[in-house]
């Protein structure tokens, strides 16, 4: 014998307001990403300055190439982190609730 389902009408999917959800977020990931982007940007500027110094003869080519390598590596790492974050976001969006 089956009884009626009375409890379903009381459930709401929008139980928490948007400002409440935003205030509950942990800003740590966003802060770390911002710092990483600033660090990559700084290394790019250092690499640009190093190229100019190598051309002007103020810096050796080895030091200039090291600065370029650091900038390139940090940019590649940041791009991989972004790719992983986007893949995780897309996976979450595909989940059925």
Q: What is the pLDDT of residue 3?
A: 54
- Count of alpha carbons within 13 angstroms of residue 62, beta-carbon side: 0
pLDDT given for residue 47 in this prediction:
96
- Residue 68: the pLDDT is 95
| 40 in Cβ contact with 74 (< 8 Å) | yes
Whether the CB-CB separation of 35 and 25 falls below 8 Å is answered with no
* Per-residue pLDDT of the chain in tens (97 residues, 90 and over written 9): 555 555 445 545 557 777 777 777 777 888 888 999 999 999 999 999 999 999 999 999 999 999 999 999 999 999 999 999 999 999 999 988 7
The four Cα atoms 30, 36, 38, 42 give a dihedral, to 10 degrees, of 180
Q: Is the sign of the CA dihedral 44, 48, 53, 54 positive or negative?
A: positive
pLDDT of residue 13: 55
């Amino acid at each position: 014998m089956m009884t009626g389902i009375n409890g379903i009408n009381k459930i709401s999917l929008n139980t928490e307001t948007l400002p409440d959800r935003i205030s509950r977020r942990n800003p740590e990931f966003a802060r770390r990403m911002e710092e990483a982007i600033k660090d990559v940007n700084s290394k790019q500027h250092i690499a640009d300055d190093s190229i100019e110094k190598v051309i002007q003869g103020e810096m050796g080519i080895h030091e200039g190439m090291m600065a370029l390598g650091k900038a390139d590596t940090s940019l590649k790492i940041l791009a991989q982190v972004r790719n992983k974050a986007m893949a995780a976001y897309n996976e979450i969006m595909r989940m059925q609730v």
